[in-house]
Structure 1
Amino acid sequence: MALSGPAGVRVLLAAAQAHPVLEPAFLAAQSRISAGFRIFDLRTAPHARQAQRLAARGSIR
């Protein structure tokens, strides 16, 4: 699912969506590329046992 954001920003929710859009944009760039990626949502509760133990110790949120 791709969403349109402010000022021509496109939100691509999956790598399969992003790669075909980003690759040609990166190749066409003449001076710089500005991109932001949010890989993990820190508000999501940990699922793996190791992550749960770390969260319980306060090592991660």
Structure 2
Amino acid sequence: MNFNIMPGDKYPIRYNLFPLQAGYIPLPHLKLNVHCDRISQNDLNDLIKRTLPSLLFIMPQKKEFTR
């Protein structure tokens, strides 16, 4: 998905994740492109890596034993 955000604007992004397995699962990567002189693309990429989590832990489903 591509869209433009103007300075001072907000654009919330929501998505649903449906885990197919338990354990540590990598999250989708967020890539932003910057078109201004005040921040470099490398600085923005480093900020995203430091700020957003890269893994999500999915708890295994509790097993029910019936007798």
Is the shorter-chain TM-score for this pair beyond 0.5, marking a shared fold? no
Higher relative contact order (CA 8 A, sep 6+): 2
Normalising by structure 1, what TM-score? 0.24
The answer to which structure has the higher helix fraction is: 1
Q: Based on CA coordinates, which of the two structures has the bigger radius of gyration?
A: 2
Normalising by structure 2, what TM-score? 0.23
